[in-house]
């Protein structure tokens, strides 16, 4: 079950041209600056905006016109014919109805299976809201209801267009957890320009610039590519996959196993041993030394190997490191790189000053 795109579109002077294939599971994040074409692409996939070319989802042709010779006659499935659920920056709810009324309306229109409404209510945690009118909900509550509506009808693809951009930080985490949970059963195409949301959700990432997908691949790979768009950012960050280890109560430290090594995080007590987790490590928080220090206050010092180096600004060098079979980045001065005589294959130690769960 994949989404294959070969489409062209125009909105005024802006032109969009995309040839890409969505992986059949997890979350694919469309990431880029405002105006890059992320939302336009999502709307074309949904059938809300016109485009030329081909959109194929699994074995079903949604759009075929102009540039494609696959069909003699044009194909253009209406929005309601495409097995999708949608969620936007502002929830599109019926304000004259209660939350239950909104769900019932969508369930009837989409002929949702018996019992699915109750299942979605439980999944999104909106049972206490059912009798309330939509116009009395907070922003976070409204988006929970909007997500519940998107999940009704058993969609085969979720299209989420910056669904958290209008929310305060206090409401975002719960919705991120819900979206990650939903992605375990239905693939998600998620639009954002927020790095925290990318790090938290993405399995795959499509990087967009000026209406083009300029890079795509697994999120860890794209974050740590020296020649990649994400590595050039001032907030360049890598992800490490690990699993929860032991908790040292007297030190208030939680161990996270990464390969045969352990990284220590302060103050975490409610994690399940063996649970898979993601760690974020900013390039600016990694320093390098050629021998293991014996008198450092830094807890997380791990052996690593230089994969590559790249000058990224006046006096700045970005170093790609292999650590426990995964890659992270270190941003150091050009002078430091020369003094350490760094080159691909150099064995050294990475001192990680800060690490956090995402």
Q: What is the dihedral of CA 245, 248, 253, 254, to 10 degrees?
A: 20
Residues counted in the chain: 358
CATH for 237-357 is 2.40.50.100
8 A C-beta contact, residue 304 and residue 350: yes
Q: How many CB atoms lie within 10 A of CB 46?
A: 19
Tokens of 88: 């936007």
Could you give the angle at which helices 116-124 and 169-182 cross, rounded to 10 degrees? 140
Is the Cβ–Cβ distance between 355 and 300 less than 8 Å? yes
pLDDT of residue 110: 85
Q: Give the C-alpha separation, 347 to 321, whole Å.
A: 10
CA atoms within 13 A on the CB side of 67: 14
C-alpha distance across the termini of the chain, in Å: 28
- Nearest-5° angle of CA 285, CA 287, CA 288? 155
Residue 324: both structure tokens together: 């426990």
* C-beta separation of 339 from 241 below 8 A: no
CB atoms under 10 Å from CB of 64, counted, come to 22
Boundaries of every domain in the chain: 3-217, 237-357
Say what the pLDDT of residue 36 is. Answer: 95
Fold of 3-217: Rossmann fold (3.40.50)
* pLDDT beneath 70: ranges in the chain: 66-73
- Tell me the average pLDDT of the chain: 92
């Amino acid at each position: 079950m994949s989404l294959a795109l070969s489409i062209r579109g125009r909105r005024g002077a802006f032109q969009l041209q995309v040839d890409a294939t969505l992986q059949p599971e997890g979350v694919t994040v469309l990431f880029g600056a405002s105006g890059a074409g992320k939302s336009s692409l999502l709307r074309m996939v949904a059938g809300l905006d016109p485009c030329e070319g081909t959109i194929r989802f699994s074995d079903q042709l949604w759009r075929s016109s102009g540039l494609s010779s696959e069909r003699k006659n044009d194909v253009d499935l209406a929005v309601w014919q495409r097995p999708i659920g949608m969620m936007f920056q502002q929830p599109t709810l019926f304000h004259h109805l209660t939350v239950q009324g909104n769900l019932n309306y969508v369930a009837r229109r989409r002929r949702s299976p018996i019992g699915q409404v109750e299942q979605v209510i439980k999944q999104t945690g909106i049972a206490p809201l059912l009798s309330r009118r939509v116009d009395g909900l907070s922003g976070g509550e409204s988006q929970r209801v909007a997500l519940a509506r998107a999940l009704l009808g058993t969609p085969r693809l979720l299209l989420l267009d910056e669904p958290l951009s209008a929310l305060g930080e206090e409401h975002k985490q719960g919705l991120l957890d819900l979206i990650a949970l939903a992605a375990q059963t239905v693939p998600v195409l998620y639009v954002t320009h927020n790095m925290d949301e990318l790090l938290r959700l993405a399995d795959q990432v499509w990087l967009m610039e000026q209406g083009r997908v300029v890079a795509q691949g697994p999120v860890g790979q794209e974050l740590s590519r020296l020649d990649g768009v994400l590595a050039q950012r001032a907030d360049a960050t890598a992800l490490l996959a690990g699993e929860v280890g032991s908790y040292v109560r007297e030190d208030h430290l939680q161990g996270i196993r990464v390969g045969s090594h352990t990284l220590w995080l302060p103050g975490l007590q409610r994690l399940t041993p063996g649970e898979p987790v993601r760690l974020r490590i900013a390039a600016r928080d990694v320093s390098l030394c050629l021998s293991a220090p014996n008198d450092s206050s830094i807890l997380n010092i791990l052996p690593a190997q230089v994969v590559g180096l790249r000058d990224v600004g006046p006096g700045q060098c970005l170093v790609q490191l292999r650590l426990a079979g995964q890659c992270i980045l270190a941003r150091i001065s050009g002078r430091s790189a020369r003094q350490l005589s760094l080159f691909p294959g150099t064995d050294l130690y990475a001192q990680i000053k800060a690490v956090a769960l995402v």
